[in-house]
Amino acid sequence: MILEDGFSRRFHYLRLSLTEACNFRCTYCLPDGYRPAGRKSFLTVDEIRRVVHGFAELGVKKIRLTGGEPSMRRDLPAIIETVANTAGIEKVAMTTNGYRLKERAAQWYDAGLRDLNVSIDSLDPRQFQLITGENKLAEILDGIEAAQAAGYHRIKVNSVLLKNLNDHELSQFLFWIKGQPIQLRLIELMQTGEMDARFQKHHQSGLPIKKRLLREGWLQQPKGQTDGPAEVFSHPDYLGQIGLIMPYSKDFCASCNRLRVSAVGKLHLCLFGEEGVALRDLLQDDSQHTELQTRILEGLTHKRETHFLHQGNSGVTPHLASIGG
Ligand code: SAM
Ligand code: SF4
pLDDT at position 1 is 76
Contact predicate 231/220, CB 8 Å: yes
Residue nearest to atom 4 of ligand 1 (CA): 97
The reply to whether ligand 2 has any atom less than 6 angstroms from the CB of 30 is yes
Radius of gyration from C-alpha coordinates of the chain? 19
Tell me the three state secondary structure of residue 295. helix
Tell me the three state secondary structure of residue 118. strand
pLDDT at position 184 is 97
Q: Which ligand is nearest to the CA of 67?
A: 1
The reply to whether ligand 1 has any atom less than 6 angstroms from the CB of 119 is yes
The reply to whether ligand 2 has any atom less than 6 angstroms from the CB of 140 is no
Predicted TM-score (pTM) of this structure: 0.93
Domains of the chain: 13-322 (3.20.20.70)
Tell me the three state secondary structure of residue 241. strand
By most ligand atoms within 8 Å of CB, the mutation choice from 15, 27, 29, 202 for ligand 2 is: 29
Phi, psi of 139 (to 5 degrees): -60, -40
| Mean pLDDT split into 10-residue runs, the chain, 325 residues | 76 93 95 88 97 96 96 97 98 97 98 97 97 97 97 94 94 96 95 81 94 97 75 96 88 76 91 80 97 92 63 65 72
pLDDT at position 247 is 85
pLDDT at position 8 is 72
How many angstroms separate the CA atoms of 220 and 235, rounded?
9
Q: For the beta carbon of residue 79, count every other beta carbon within 10 angstroms.
A: 25
Amino acid at 161: L
By most ligand atoms within 8 Å of CB, the mutation choice from 69, 245, 317 for ligand 2 is: 69
By most ligand atoms within 8 Å of CB, the mutation choice from 29, 65, 156, 204 for ligand 1 is: 29
The reply to whether ligand 1 has any atom less than 6 angstroms from the CB of 174 is no
